[in-house]
Amino acid sequence: FFILLSADVAAMAPGTRTGAASPIIAIGGFTIGVDETLRKKIMNDAMAFLRSYSEKRGRNATLAETAVTDARAFTEKESLEGKLIDYVAATPEELLRNLNGKTVTRFDGTKTTLSLTNYQRAAFELSARQKFLARIVEPDMFFLLLLLGTLGLYAEFTHPGAVVPGVVGGICAVLALYAMHLLPVNVAGVLLILIAVTLFVLEAKYTSHGILLAGGAIAMIFGAIFLIRSPLTSGGVSLGMAVAVTLPFAALSVFLMRLVLRSRKWKQAAGAEEMLGEQGIATNGLKSGIEGMIRIHGETWRAITNEDVAAGEAVRVRKIEGLKLYVEPAKTQSAARIST
């Protein structure tokens, strides 16, 4: 409404409306209440700003103020009759025909006569930066960035050193936070997504025959739909995007978590601890409670046993303290089968 009244030429199409321009303070889609003094200050400033240019344009400033004070709206016919606009035109071509030869008075007092006999229409294109930022704040892209950031950071934390998932996830997470600052995010949607991620983790840890996985997928789809507070379904995350992103995310989350849980059961393959449970050979025999030498993995180690072990017999490592091994006789295998 403010932009319409400030234009050199104000026109509306049939079946349109304007007005309802009362100032409202909102952050993230949530309206914030203010005290009476601040409210009056904001209203008076808005009305003064509206009068400052609507009067110079020769428009009805008194009627225009009611759009601010009373949140009044006007149809195109009411706007034309009330001298808020100059024309009502059904098409751009009709508007340009009406403007041909019209004299426009600018703010500085100069007059310009419009000659639109041989006009050329040029499209106004957004800059690359504007297109990028506009794309980020789209609900579908916001949801995609949010899940990519979550998945990337999760993969990096569970598989340190991968680097690429952490870098990509960090960038996506920051972009999602930027969009979240501008979009009216619904807390219920965020909670449903968190519940979905929790169910995916539980699916990897416990046997539920797919019940937890299905529940997580349903929770995430509903969370995507509720994520953006909009009176229109098309104003939020589309159902197609919700399903297309949720299913791969669920599969990857369960897969990565199962890898993590499986890796915890693996025996350590490096360092002294990897010799726990391994077998070696007593080189010169071992006396109970007296330190001796054994050979294991091609290396000679100091060892102590609670039972006498003859030279050449197999022993099994049961404990490690520094560079000393605590062993016991290995009676299940013969020394001939131990690789030295």
Sequence spans of domains, the chain: 2-98, 128-263, 272-337
| 177-183 long-range contacts, CB within 8 A, separation 24+ | 178/136, 179/136, 179/137, 179/141, 179/142, 179/145, 180/28, 180/142, 180/146, 181/28, 182/28, 182/137, 183/28, 183/29, 183/137, 183/139, 183/142, 183/228
| 320-328 long-range contacts, CB within 8 A, separation 24+ | 320/272, 320/273, 320/275, 320/276, 323/272, 324/291, 325/275, 325/294, 325/296, 325/301, 327/280, 327/286, 327/294, 327/303
Radius of gyration of the chain (CA): 37
Cα separation, 18 vs 30, whole angstroms: 23
pLDDT tens-digit profile, the chain (340 residues): 888 988 888 999 999 999 988 888 766 556 777 778 888 898 889 889 888 888 888 888 899 999 988 889 999 999 999 999 988 999 988 888 888 888 887 877 788 888 888 878 888 888 899 899 888 888 889 999 999 998 888 888 877 777 888 899 999 999 999 888 888 888 888 899 999 988 888 887 777 778 888 998 999 999 998 888 765 445 678 888 889 988 888 888 888 777 766 765 555 444 556 677 788 888 888 888 888 888 887 788 888 888 888 888 888 888 888 778 888 888 744 444 444 4
pLDDT score recorded for residue 269: 47
Indicate the pTM of the whole model.
0.58
Q: Which two tokens stand for residue 266?
A: 């693996």
Q: Are 213 and 200 in contact (CB under 8 A)?
A: yes
The angle, 0 to 180 degrees and rounded to 10, between the axes of the packed helices 211-226 and 187-205 is 160
Q: Are 42 and 103 in contact (CB under 8 A)?
A: no
Fold of 272-337: OB fold (Dihydrolipoamide Acetyltransferase, E2P) (2.40.50)
pLDDT score recorded for residue 337: 46
**Distance (Å) of CA 227 to CA 105, 223, 230, 233, 242:** 48, 6, 9, 11, 10
Q: How many CB atoms lie within 10 A of CB 138?
A: 16
Q: Are 140 and 237 in contact (CB under 8 A)?
A: yes
Pick the CATH number of 2-98 from 3.90.226.10, 3.30.1490.20, 3.40.50.410, 3.40.50.300: 3.90.226.10
Beta strands in 245-334 (DSSP E): 279-282, 292-296, 299-305, 314-321, 324-329
Kindly state the helix (H) or strand (E) to which residue 275 belongs, with its residue range.
Answer: none
pLDDT score recorded for residue 219: 92
Alpha helices in 183-273 (DSSP H): 187-205, 211-226, 239-263
Closest CA relative to residue 1, chosen from 23, 18, 24: 18
